[in-house]
Amino acid sequence: MKRIPLIAGNWKMYKTTTEAIEFASAIKRNLYQINPELLEIVICPAFTALSDVSEVICDSNIKLGAQDVHWEREGAFTGEVSILMLKDLNCKYVIVGHSERRTYFKETNEIINKKLKVVLKEGLSPILCVGENLEERENNMTFKVLDDHIYNGLKDISSLELVNLVIAYEPVWAIGTGKTATPQIAQEAQGYIRNLLNNLYGESISQQIRILYGGSVKPDNIRELIKQPDIDGALVGGASLILDSFVNIVKYSYDEVKNICMDY
């Protein structure tokens, strides 16, 4: 069975719609040769730019993702964006439970669980972010945090609903800090996550779920990361905002995946 590696750019609260259109067009021009059956490319602009970027990439090998979603399909929730609105714009992916949302917007596992359910129900792919902060790592709590994020995040979600799930292991101490986890540290955590998925859903499902690494991914570290057996791509923040960096991260990953046999 094959897991198609995925490189996703999380643009966070950067780029106006005008800038986003220009940037998405440049990415499209530079990456048209990537075969989406070997490597998926996803870009996640701010909500305000989704509609225009969707038009720019509609005839390309690049897919659209959103950075968040509300857990209800519609309702009186001023300022929020629903899954139906995202689906209508041809979004295929939604980042759920990013550490910045857990920290600054107090998103709990319970909220994240509700968001995952609505995204899966509507047939989109959630990218569930999990990972420990520095204090937790230094206190040897990494595995405990991963247990908490995975078991509670995926609570009451059956294996039948899971098909589209993607997980991103993002150690908080590596996000935006320039400190990447070594490939060994990332592999250890991601192997652990796959093992948790195995306990929850069995071998065949756990082998199908893609687990990305996120945290200061750059062109000069992506090759070693993506070579690891349980690293199926990357969720890229800062480096996804710079054309050369993002293009090279995708190209270097593509070189590696063409070499690696991902059949199990």
Residues near ligand PGA (CB under 6 A) are: 10, 170, 175-176, 214-217, 235-239
- Residue among 28 and 171 whose Cβ is closer to ligand PGA: 171
What's the closest the beta carbon of residue 168 comes to ligand PGA, in angstroms?
7
Q: How far is it, in rounded angstroms, from Cα 61 to Cα 13?
A: 24
State the residue number with the nearest CB to ligand PGA: 237
DSSP state of 215: S
- Residue among 20 and 175 whose Cβ is closer to ligand PGA: 175
Tokens, residue 237 = 């923040």
What's the closest the beta carbon of residue 7 comes to ligand PGA, in angstroms?
12
Rg (CA), the chain: 17
What's the closest the beta carbon of residue 263 comes to ligand PGA, in angstroms?
29
- Residue among 100 and 230 whose Cβ is closer to ligand PGA: 100
Q: How far is it, in rounded angstroms, from Cα 238 to Cα 247?
A: 13
Q: How far is it, in rounded angstroms, from Cα 93 to Cα 185?
A: 26
Do 68 and 50 form a contact (C-beta atoms < 8 A)?
Answer: no
**3-class secondary structure per residue, 80-103:** CCCHHHHHHCCEEEEEECCHHHHH
What's the closest the beta carbon of residue 88 comes to ligand PGA, in angstroms?
25
- Residue among 125 and 201 whose Cβ is closer to ligand PGA: 125
Do 170 and 231 form a contact (C-beta atoms < 8 A)?
Answer: no
Considering 40, 70, 98, 149, which one is annotated as catalytic?
98
- Token look-up 């993607």 returns 166
Q: Which alpha helices (DSSP H) does the chain contain, by range?
A: 17-31, 47-57, 83-88, 99-104, 109-121, 134-138, 142-153, 183-201, 203-206, 219-226, 243-259
What's the closest the beta carbon of residue 193 comes to ligand PGA, in angstroms?
16
Do 208 and 1 form a contact (C-beta atoms < 8 A)?
Answer: yes
**Length of the chain in residues, anyone?**
264
- Residue among 124 and 217 whose Cβ is closer to ligand PGA: 217
Considering 40, 100, 132, 170, which one is annotated as catalytic?
170
- Residue among 11 and 201 whose Cβ is closer to ligand PGA: 11
What's the closest the beta carbon of residue 180 comes to ligand PGA, in angstroms?
8
Active site residue 98: yes
- Catalytic residue IDs: 98, 170
